[in-house]
Amino acid sequence: MASETADIIIRNATLIDGTGSKAISGDLAVTGEKISALGATLDIEAVEEIDADGMALAPGFIDAHTHDDRIVLTDPTMTCKISQGVTTVVTGNCGISIAPVTINSRPPGPLDLICPAASDFFPTFAEYFSALERAPAAVNVVAQVGHASLRVNTMDSFERAATSDEIEDMKSLLRQALRDGAAGLSTGLYYPPANKAPTEEIEALAQVVHEEGGFHSTHMRDEADGVVDSLEETFRIGRTAQVPVIISHHKCVGLANHGRSTETLKIIDAARAQQPIGLDVYPYVASSTILRKDRVALSAQILITWSDKFEGLEGRDLKEIAAEMGLGIYETIDAISPAGAIYFMMDEEDVRAIMSYPATMIGSDGLPHDRHPHPRLWGTFPRVLGHYARDEQLFPLETAVHKMTGLTARTFGLKDRGVLVEGAFADLVLFDPDTVIDTASFEHPQTPAAGILRVIVNGTTVWHDQIATKARPGKTLRGDKYLTHSIMAH
Ligand code: ZN
Ligand code: CU
């Protein structure tokens, strides 16, 4: 006789627990927002009984690198992510965040990737979080403070280092944001609003992160010829301020740098013995951001994702557009900007080596407001599971899941997420390991994955039978204290 009851019980599942351990078969029970039991055979009755029939049951995927700051408010169903099994998104990457920003004109690129209008921003993280708590999304949100956002709010020119007064202003904005629940500081030293900032400016800000708790993630100054110098700069910031650092979307861009992941991973590995370092990657050889001239020489092909000046360019090749306009490539860029683009600039072997590296998390870097987005927005997680783990046998399925769950929760210090364990939040994904695959392509980038059978966030089903339930049980994860200092050290 069953002595206990639960809200949901999933029976006969292949449990992949997120730690990287080998899958085992068993049952899992959910009560309220939490996993209430798991074991080989549970003698529990439940309101909802699900027969998994051997399908894989894993912790919900955590998207380590997103630009979902605004889409969680404007399209809270988050179909692009829940259809992949994503249950938590880390926002505010690459130096750009939706708060704390008060401006009265269109923001400079790349801030316009997330917020094209001044009114899209929030003056404080407290206001941003409470807007999100009043109108929650389907997924949980971990939000970072962007350095470029702080600069935009504080400086009248980005063509120089911040003065000591401006640094003080940024530090107090940052401190308040972290106290309001932001998880860390991101930089995008590659981008114009920040590329004149010296290392010392970031070290001064990272000091606040050290004091308040959190981490520092970075879209490094140079991912091309100067990638090693940029790694050293990143490590230095982490050491000086004593904060964990996360190298965002690690890659070696440009033909001349193809194959250099052998070198960069060796350097990262040596540094990880000295200080906490994490990294993320997306599973594609093409990158995507605003349209920039300095990427032309580095790219084999460039596709336009949006243009504010011309309609109908999205999805098209820049060379073709230039030929049609009767202009050179650089003149075409001037003519159609502000715009966004996809750049084919990485080497498949580097992508595989970086993805296989043990500390590498999976992050989509998807751009949800692009009209013709990079397929990574809809395809990242099923592509790693189906294409790279199953079809290409790059690593076992358990490792793939770990890179999207347990490793990510540990790196960001997320409490009770990312693993299947009694008492953890019931963020879950049930998927078919034989059929899971991305369907989003560069031609048709906005299509849901196949094989993601059910997605549960905080105990509530958000995706089932290829349809969003429209439930919005996501939380702002601002309660966690992000004690990553000790956790990331090994
Ligand atoms: Zn970036
Ligand atoms: Cu990014």
Write down all domains in the chain, each with its CATH number in brackets. 5-58+419-468 (2.30.40.10), 61-295+341-412 (3.20.20.140), 296-340 (3.30.1490.130)
In angstroms, the CA 458 to CA 460 distance is: 6
| Token reading at 406 | 């347990």
Quick check: 477 pLDDT over 80? yes
Quick check: 487 pLDDT over 50? no
Residue 288 C-alpha to ligand 1 middle, in angstroms?
9
Split at pLDDT 50, 70, 90, the class of 488 is: very low
Residue 66 C-alpha to ligand 2 middle, in angstroms?
6
Mean pLDDT over residues 211-215, rounded? 95
Quick check: 333 pLDDT over 60? yes
- Predicted pLDDT of residue 3: 61
Quickly tell me which residue has 């294409």 as its tokens.
387
Quick check: 29 pLDDT over 50? yes
Quick check: 148 pLDDT over 90? yes
- Predicted pLDDT of residue 479: 66
Quick check: 483 pLDDT over 70? no
| Token reading at 11 | 């029976």
Quick check: 297 pLDDT over 80? yes
Split at pLDDT 50, 70, 90, the class of 4 is: confident
* 3-class secondary structure, 28: strand
- Predicted pLDDT of residue 480: 67
Which of the 8 DSSP states describes residue 449?
P
Q: What is the mean pLDDT of the chain?
A: 96
Backbone angles phi, psi at 74, to 5 degrees: -85, -25
In angstroms, the CA 117 to CA 103 distance is: 9
In angstroms, the CA 198 to CA 196 distance is: 6
Quick check: 347 pLDDT over 60? yes
Ligand showing the shortest atom-to-Cα distance for residue 251: 1
Residue 21 C-alpha to ligand 1 middle, in angstroms?
31
- CA-based radius of gyration for the chain: 22
Mean pLDDT over residues 153-174, rounded? 98
Residue 95 C-alpha to ligand 2 middle, in angstroms?
8
Quick check: 489 pLDDT over 90? no
Q: Which of 162-171, 288-297, 475-484 has the lowest mean pLDDT?
A: 475-484
Mean pLDDT over residues 374-396, rounded? 98
- The answer to whether the peptide bond before residue 110 is cis (omega within 30 degrees of 0) is yes
- The H or E element spanning position 361 is strand 360-362
Residue 10 C-alpha to ligand 2 middle, in angstroms?
36
- The H or E element spanning position 281 is strand 277-281
The b/e string for 34-48 (b: 16+ C-beta within 10 A; e otherwise) is bbbbbeeebebebee
Ligand showing the shortest atom-to-Cα distance for residue 250: 1
- Distances 92 to 33, 98, 145, 178, 236 between C-alpha atoms, Å: 26, 7, 6, 13, 22
Mean pLDDT over residues 269-296, rounded? 97
Quick check: 31 pLDDT over 70? yes
List the shell of residues around ion ligand 2, using CB closer than 5 Å.
93-94, 365
Split at pLDDT 50, 70, 90, the class of 481 is: low
Mean pLDDT over residues 177-195, rounded? 97
Nearest CA to 210 among 163, 244, 176, 248?
244
Quick check: 239 pLDDT over 50? yes
Strands 277-281, 301-307: pairing is unpaired
Quick check: 254 pLDDT over 80? yes
Residue 455 C-alpha to ligand 2 middle, in angstroms?
25
Report which of residues 449 and 478 the model is more confident about.
Answer: 449
Quick check: 429 pLDDT over 60? yes
- Predicted pLDDT of residue 485: 44
Residue 31 C-alpha to ligand 1 middle, in angstroms?
38
Ligand showing the shortest atom-to-Cα distance for residue 63: 2
Q: Helices in 135-260 by DSSP H: which ranges?
A: 147-154, 164-180, 199-212, 227-241
- Predicted pLDDT of residue 1: 47
Residues 6+ apart with CB under 8 A from 49: 9, 11
